[in-house]
Structure formats: structure tokens, C-alpha cells
Amino acid sequence: MSKINKDMRIAEILDIDATIAPILMAAGMHCVGCPSAQGETLSEAAMVHGMDADSLVTRINDYLEKKAEKNN
């Protein structure tokens, strides 16, 4: 299972699993498909949107872990 961190670019995160996009959008990052947003790190995007990057990383990694468990 891949894990993400706040220093990864949005594009890298979505390359790991495109189904992470709804989590980002639900958190207020509605521009995940924008070319400029693709080059931002999760930390940078969280700062711009006034959210805590660490809690978002935890939420995404929990999602990936549960998804991996379902597939095993």
C-alpha cells in the first residue's frame, strides 16, 4: 500500500490513487484538476485553503489503508 505525505505534489497523490480526488474536494480543494494545483504540494495547497495538512494526510492514508484491506 502506498502512503502519501504532505510534501508530495497533488499530481503525485492522484497518480497513486485517483479516488483520492473526492477527499481533497470534500476538504475544499475543488481545483485539484487545475494545472497549477497539480504542481503544488499537499502542504502548499492546504496552506492556501487554510487547512491542516497533517490531518488531511491522516485522512487520506486511513482511506488508502481501508481500501487496501477491502481488496485483500
Query: pLDDT per residue over 9-51, tens digit each?
Result: 999 999 999 999 999 999 888 877 788 777 899 999 999 889 9
**Confidence at residue 34, expressed as pLDDT on a 0 to 100 scale:** 80
> Which helix (H) or strand (E) segment is 66 a member of?
helix 53-70
Q: Is 59 exposed, middle or buried (0-12, 13-18, 19+ CB in 10 A)?
A: middle
Write the single-letter amino acid at 46: A
Mean pLDDT over 46-65 rounds to: 94
pTM comes to 0.89
- Separation of alpha carbons 31 and 19, rounded Å: 15
Write the single-letter amino acid at 29: M
* 29, 9 Cβ separation under 8 angstroms: no
